[in-house]
Chain A
Amino acid sequence: MAYTEEELKKELETKEYEYGFYTDIESDTLPVGLNEDIVRAISKKKNEPEWMTEWRLEAFRIWSEMVEPEWANVKYTKPDFQKISYYSAPKKKPQYDSLDEVDPELLDTFNKLGISLEEQKKLAGVAVDVVMDSVSVATTFKKTLAEKGIIFCSISEAIKEHPDLVKKYLGTVVPRTDNFYAALNSAVFSDGSFCYIPKGVRCPMELSTYFRINQAGTGQFERTLVIADKESYVSYLEGCTAPMRDENQLHAAVVELIALDDAEIKYSTVQNWFPGNKEGKGGVYNFVTKRGLCEKNSKISWTQVETGSAVTWKYPSCILKGDNSIGEFYSIAVTNNWQQADTGTKMIHLGKNTKSTIISKGISAGQSQNSYRGLVQINRRATNARNFSQCDSLLMGNKCGAHTFPYIEAKNKTAQIEHEATTSKIGEDQIFYCNQRGIDTEKAIALIVNGFSKEVLNKLPMEFAVEAQKLLEISLEGSVG
């Protein structure tokens, strides 16, 4: 790890929210509020075909009849959906082949974030589809991918260029009727990524998208659709940072994964949106629906590192429909100050010999509340289903809370389910041991937290693992009294 102690020290000094800056790019924003006209306007702005507009309108109608869910173990002021602008796109819509043509100001933003497109191109071998306030502005490595027949583009592009695929799969895993925020997203989604891996192709690089919330007062409604055709493999990374902002920002994304027979999808997320300041003011509301569908012998693996957002409400799930399919969920959720997280997974076992693994690590500090909520469901016909769940919580200080709400439903006698959860704190003896060896308390805690989350960090792709480790340390800074 090329990350020294001095660097950490420097980072800690500027720890409040280092990615909190605001890029001054002229944005094209729709008036606030939501009605059928706005939905039409969004669709029109994006030059979408008629069927897409209708699809959105139907979603809007469904949404208007729904009520906001309240069951999650979080408290927040509900966003006023009529006070949000639902579309914001950088005005100078860039269509570039090389980075030189990109707005220098935008490039500067990326540099501050530590994303050097050039460098990533050459060194990391990561194709980045940068989403800046909802419209994709740069797609690299497209050519390499195109040679293999891989489609990796923004979803609005996919709607125009690959309508058959989009029509066939959009909304099949997360239907518009699924929940309040999924319906809202379906009506107003601004942009997102689309990825299709053809039959038998192993994607040669990690696909990655960076999301940023930029325009004050605009919700970000991402829509991601990843389709892995038979016998293919793809690893997809999603990373997020957002500028510091005082009012709460709403983020309601939908991610749909489809793994056809014998395919494998690995989806990794690092989420570091603005969590609100030390008094609990501001911060992003993160209400996300993520779900994957597994056909025969396929595998979907979710890995997430959640350190940001004021309120998180997120349950990446797997529907294990095909026989012998596998679902995995590895998660680290860190909450500090006044953050609240209610996160977990759902594993729905439908096919025979299906397997699922859940490893969830929750770390709470400050006045935060961290909940794990998970469902393991073994249906009547899912013979020989197997599940293993482990939820560990680490508490720092006595003002925070760690909660576990596992739901286990079994209807087949051959099901084998194990669930275990523990809650603990960092032992004084552990810290003492480190102190004795010249490691200061702050660093010792970082070390222990790292060890605690190793099982999950190991599952992240290399590029992300380093970043995630850094994030963990920064997020927990100042939480030790």
Chain B
Amino acid sequence: MDFKENMISSFMAFEDHVDVENPIHDIRTEAIKQFEKEHLPSKKNEFWKYTSLNPYFKKQYSVYPKLESALEFKDVKKYFIHEIDSYKIVFVDGVYSSYLSQTTHEGLDVCLMSAALTKPKYRLVIENYFNKVAPKDSLNSLNTAFSREGAFINIPKGKVVDKPIQILHFSTGNEANLLVQPRNLIVAGENSHVQIIERHQSLTDNEVLTNGVTEIFAKKRAIVDYYKIQNDRLNASLIDNTFISQKEQSHVSVHTFSLGGKLTRNNLQFFHEGERLDSTLKGITLIGDKQHVDHSTLVHHAQPNCESHQDYKGIYADHSTGVFNGRIIVEKEAQKTNGFQQNNNILIDDTATINAKPQLEIFADDVKCSHGCTIGQLDDEALLYLRSRGIPKKEATALLMYAFSNSVLDSVKIPELKNRINKLIAMKLGVSLGFDL
């Protein structure tokens, strides 16, 4: 049975577990039909030119865990940014863990997609936003068809959320070949402000595959800061699809820290629906060990006077492969657009590969758009400078890499998170630096 048939038959079984009378189910049925129609991503597809999912499509998957796995907080504490108070939404193998979570309905909704999809009081929000910005391609449709659980965050007008929200997805790998498909929806109302940290973490060395979709809606003057930590084990694979719809004067930033995982694919797309807004996409990739990270970004400028900033840094070692496929589209209505894209890469050794494709598609004439892409190595002279001052080679190299990726780290607004990322990077590089970065 091939992957498509496998999924379609799973959908029939899935229908037994959900309320088919719910209007959402029409969207699901529509989506599975769309999935059936679309071609699965292959290297022939321009957007998947450098990343092959074929090995994944050869396996059989189940879409729902048969048994619930309970976790002790002390075992997973280290994966939280536990130094700060925060709201938490935690899933274990795609199933909500109320024990580890801390949700709220006071002043804002930080809760579950399953609740939002079924409770009447959320019907309007779901009707207006659910599946409204995600493109109808193969993998998104697959996620939509099985959409049932995930994080649901609804922030009313004018609300400044007092503490960050952490979304954690744990995988136990207790069940072989489980395809986890979380579906998140975030609606930030007018003048609201929210910070979200998302992390996918597998707890064992078993193979894990996640195909997640997150939709974010930022209304007028809303500020949304989204941080993704991807520091998974060598057998965990993640296809992350994040779509953002922005209204006028909103500021949305997405930081992606790809520090580990067998295969990580980040589809990150911004759609502009208002003037004078700002989109920021930043990322640090630091991998080795045959890992593969693919950043595929799109900023769709469709309105005048908007800005976008992209800054992706990549450091690749030991048979790892990095892909950066960045796109900026400027429609002819989008005059006075400022679109910037930067991608810098360092190859640590000759077994690593980087494929970069920074694209511009511009239809308006009064715009400032630029992209820069570099591939190089650490400056020997800088290295000598540090080493001649008594800093060992390893530390000196690490210092230079910090400096290289600093423009991304600098814009992280949560100090504890920044600290954590610093520690993770130091761990990756095998150094302990005796100063605060």
Chain A residues with a Cβ under 8 A of chain B: 71, 378, 380, 393, 395-425
Q: Do B360 and A421 have beta carbons less than 8 Å apart?
A: yes
Given contact pairs A408-B375, A413-B377, A417-B373, A402 touches B360 in the complex (Cβ within 8 A): yes
Q: Is B390 an interface residue (CB 8 A)?
A: no
On chain B, the residues within 8 Å of A417 by CB distance are: 373-376
Q: Which residue of A lies closest to B346 (CB)?
A: A413
- The minimal Cβ–Cβ distance linking A372 to chain B, given in whole angstroms, is 9
Q: Do A423 and B359 have beta carbons less than 8 Å apart?
A: no
Q: Is B363 an interface residue (CB 8 A)?
A: yes
Indicate which residue in B46, B350, B358, B369 contacts A412 across the interface (CB closer than 8 Å): B350
Given contact pairs A421-B370, A422-B370, A409 touches B376 in the complex (Cβ within 8 A): no
Q: Please, how many angstroms separate the alpha-carbon atoms of A422 and B371 in the complex? A: 7
- The minimal Cβ–Cβ distance linking B327 to chain A, given in whole angstroms, is 9
Q: Which residue of A lies closest to B317 (CB)?
A: A413
Q: Please, how many angstroms separate the alpha-carbon atoms of A410 and B375 in the complex? A: 8
Q: Is B393 an interface residue (CB 8 A)?
A: no
Q: Which residue of A lies closest to B342 (CB)?
A: A420
Indicate which residue in A404, A411, A414 contacts B360 across the interface (CB closer than 8 Å): A404
On chain B, the residues within 8 Å of A416 by CB distance are: 374-377
Q: Do A408 and B359 have beta carbons less than 8 Å apart?
A: no
Which of A393, A397, A402, A416 has the most chain B CB atoms inside 10 A of its CB?
A402
- Say which size band chain B's interface belongs to: 20 to 34
Q: Do B375 and A415 have beta carbons less than 8 Å apart?
A: yes
Q: Do A399 and B345 have beta carbons less than 8 Å apart?
A: no
Q: Do B353 and A409 have beta carbons less than 8 Å apart?
A: yes
Given contact pairs A408-B375, A421-B371, A395 touches B358 in the complex (Cβ within 8 A): no
Q: Do B353 and A398 have beta carbons less than 8 Å apart?
A: no
Q: Please, how many angstroms separate the alpha-carbon atoms of A396 and B366 in the complex? A: 9
Q: Do A401 and B375 have beta carbons less than 8 Å apart?
A: no
Indicate which residue in A378, A409, A420 contacts B372 across the interface (CB closer than 8 Å): A420
Q: Is B354 an interface residue (CB 8 A)?
A: yes
Q: Do A423 and B370 have beta carbons less than 8 Å apart?
A: yes
Q: Please, how many angstroms separate the alpha-carbon atoms of A363 and B345 in the complex? A: 30
Indicate which residue in B347, B360, B367 contacts A403 across the interface (CB closer than 8 Å): B360
Q: Which residue of A lies closest to B374 (CB)?
A: A418
Q: Is B391 an interface residue (CB 8 A)?
A: no
On chain A, the residues within 8 Å of B394 by CB distance are: none
Given contact pairs A397-B365, A423-B367, A380 touches B46 in the complex (Cβ within 8 A): no
Q: Please, how many angstroms separate the alpha-carbon atoms of A153 and B123 in the complex? A: 78
Q: Rank and list the top 5 A-B pairs by shortest CB-CB distance, nearest first.
A: A395-B365, A413-B347, A417-B375, A408-B356, A419-B373
Q: Please, how many angstroms separate the alpha-carbon atoms of A409 and B325 in the complex? A: 12
Q: Is B352 an interface residue (CB 8 A)?
A: yes
Which of A410, A422, A424 has the most chain B CB atoms inside 10 A of its CB?
A410
On chain A, the residues within 8 Å of B356 by CB distance are: 406-409, 419
Q: Which residue of A lies closest to B353 (CB)?
A: A411
On chain B, the residues within 8 Å of A421 by CB distance are: 358, 360, 370-372
Q: Do A398 and B365 have beta carbons less than 8 Å apart?
A: yes
- The minimal Cβ–Cβ distance linking B292 to chain A, given in whole angstroms, is 14
Q: Do B357 and A395 have beta carbons less than 8 Å apart?
A: no
On chain A, the residues within 8 Å of B353 by CB distance are: 409-411
Indicate which residue in A396, A408, A413 contacts B352 across the interface (CB closer than 8 Å): A413
Q: 14 A-B residue contacts at CB 8 Å?
A: A403-B360, A403-B361, A407-B356, A408-B356, A410-B347, A410-B354, A411-B350, A412-B347, A414-B377, A416-B376, A419-B356, A422-B369, A423-B367, A424-B367
Q: Do B366 and A425 have beta carbons less than 8 Å apart?
A: yes
On chain B, the residues within 8 Å of A414 by CB distance are: 350, 377
On chain B, the residues within 8 Å of A413 by CB distance are: 347-350, 352, 377
- The minimal Cβ–Cβ distance linking B217 to chain A, given in whole angstroms, is 29
Q: Please, how many angstroms separate the alpha-carbon atoms of A124 and B366 in the complex? A: 43
Indicate which residue in B350, B363, B376 contacts A398 across the interface (CB closer than 8 Å): B363
Q: Is B362 an interface residue (CB 8 A)?
A: yes
On chain A, the residues within 8 Å of B345 by CB distance are: 410
Q: Do A403 and B362 have beta carbons less than 8 Å apart?
A: yes
Q: Please, how many angstroms separate the alpha-carbon atoms of A71 and B358 in the complex? A: 17
Q: Please, how many angstroms separate the alpha-carbon atoms of A408 and B360 in the complex? A: 14
Q: Please, how many angstroms separate the alpha-carbon atoms of A397 and B358 in the complex? A: 24
Q: Do B354 and A420 have beta carbons less than 8 Å apart?
A: no
On chain A, the residues within 8 Å of B366 by CB distance are: 398, 425
Which of A395, A396, A423 has the most chain B CB atoms inside 10 A of its CB?
A423
Q: Is B39 an interface residue (CB 8 A)?
A: no
Which residues of B334-355 have CB atoms within 8 Å of chain A's CB atoms?
Answer: 335, 345, 347-350, 352-355
- The minimal Cβ–Cβ distance linking B297 to chain A, given in whole angstroms, is 15
Q: Which residue of B lies closest to A419 (CB)?
A: B373
Q: Which residue of B lies closest to A402 (CB)?
A: B362
Q: Do B354 and A407 have beta carbons less than 8 Å apart?
A: no
Q: Do B354 and A409 have beta carbons less than 8 Å apart?
A: yes
- The minimal Cβ–Cβ distance linking B268 to chain A, given in whole angstroms, is 19
Given contact pairs A406-B373, A408-B355, A420-B371, A393 touches B362 in the complex (Cβ within 8 A): yes
Q: Please, how many angstroms separate the alpha-carbon atoms of A411 and B320 in the complex? A: 10
Q: Which residue of B lies closest to A389 (CB)?
A: B373
Q: Please, how many angstroms separate the alpha-carbon atoms of A380 and B361 in the complex? A: 31
Q: Is B368 an interface residue (CB 8 A)?
A: yes
Q: Do B347 and A415 have beta carbons less than 8 Å apart?
A: yes
Apart from A407-B356, A415-B376, A416-B374: 14 A-B pairs, beta carbons within 8 A: A398-B365, A403-B359, A404-B359, A406-B358, A413-B352, A414-B377, A416-B376, A417-B376, A418-B372, A418-B374, A419-B356, A420-B370, A421-B358, A423-B369
